[in-house]
Amino acid sequence: MAGDFLFTSESVTEGHPDKLADQISDAVLDEVLRSDPNGRVACETFVTVGLVIVGGEITTTSYVDINRLVRSVIREIGYDQRSYGFTYDTCAILNAIGSQSPDIAQGVDTGGAGDQGLMSGYACRETPELMPMPIMLAHKITRRLSDVRKSKILPYLGPDGKSQVTIQYIDGEPARVDTVVVSTQHSAEILDDSGRKITGRARDEIIEQVISPVIPKGMLDDKTIYHVNPTGKFVIGGPQSDTGMTGRKIIVDTYGGMASHGGGAFSGKDATKVDRSASYMARYIAKNVVASGLAEKCTIQLAYAIGVAEPVSLMVFCDRSQKVSEERIVELIRKHFDMTPRGIIEALDLTRPVFRKTAAYGHFGRTEPEFTWEKTDKADLLAKEA
């Protein structure tokens, strides 16, 4: 996008009910893959006050203790106090898991895609991670919220929370942070005498300890607006105040709205499901195209038919930032990237139990070694052949 405009992205903490559900689903997937790399998993989770329902279709030779696993995830996230109204040791757990339909399996077993659909990947030059700046800053704030809670820097914080960052773009480039929103669960101890809002001191501490350390100094100015718990207070949070479901934060998971989204959620799905694996491959391709210098920004769209290995379409869009034609970039992609489900799984090593890490703070723009789709190992090759 060119011109002057404001753009906003949001993130949520690992204790948000939807992210709690995503992490449980991906923890189930990881547990299957630990002993059965060929296991088929499509796991959905629903959480509400005092209840977790885990359902879906799983076909595996391994055994997963769902009850123990769910309680472990909830405890690690931080729901371990009665005051939260939802705790790992008191919630009820309902296991409603079945097996994958043989009608689907017969197409997947031969190397075909596990479903039809379209998947998108994106990369740009706005940050070192080659990601849009609004979503990267929003993720850094929510991760920092969890860090200061767990390290007791701000011990009054609870597991649930959200952030939102608005960037002012000038001539299509990020120029400054216009607005930051942080809504974080907290204990009643930081409420003022009215009992209706947090104290000014607590607000200042959250700005100082959470926002300031992660926003580049040159992006903040005296016109930057801060909204900290704008409703006043956020004592009741997590599943006590809101339901959570797997797959409801797909824009948080990807590019914060800056790029297109195929629509399919990721968490709880093994890599034969192209909703997940082809989205990872699309990001891998887009990031290598941008890292190679062939374009300043790049959107990749892949589409598949269920049971068919090769994608039915590949589209490249560089928003007029390309150094060679988009048709030439398509040729290079087809030559150097295997976009079949089996090829994606092999190239990105997607049969390992690495997926719970993806279920909070975004699937893209990450530097941990498990995130193989963030490699730029083909950038030099693309640049040379272009």
One-character DSSP codes across 310-356: S-SEEEEE-TT-BSS-HHHHHHHHHHH---SHHHHHHHHTTTSS--G
Provide the pLDDT for residue 104. 53
Taking the C-alpha atoms of residue 228 and residue 113, their distance in angstroms, rounded to an integer, is 45
One-character DSSP codes across 52-73: EEEEEEEE-SS---HHHHHHHH
* Span 97-134, pLDDT tens digits: 987 655 555 556 657 787 889 999 999 999 999 999 99
Average pLDDT over residues 329-351: 97
Contact criterion met (CB below 8 Å) for 314 and 136? no
Provide the pLDDT for residue 2. 76
Confidence of residue 263 (pLDDT cuts 50, 70, 90): confident
Contact criterion met (CB below 8 Å) for 199 and 229? no
Taking the C-alpha atoms of residue 277 and residue 355, their distance in angstroms, rounded to an integer, is 11
Provide the pLDDT for residue 10. 98
Provide the pLDDT for residue 81. 92
Average pLDDT, rounded, for the chain: 95
CA distances from 310 to 251, 252, 330, 351, 362 (A): 26, 28, 15, 20, 27
Confidence of residue 189 (pLDDT cuts 50, 70, 90): very high
Provide the pLDDT for residue 109. 62
* Span 72-86, pLDDT tens digits: 999 999 999 999 999
Taking the C-alpha atoms of residue 200 and residue 205, their distance in angstroms, rounded to an integer, is 9
Provide the pLDDT for residue 249. 97
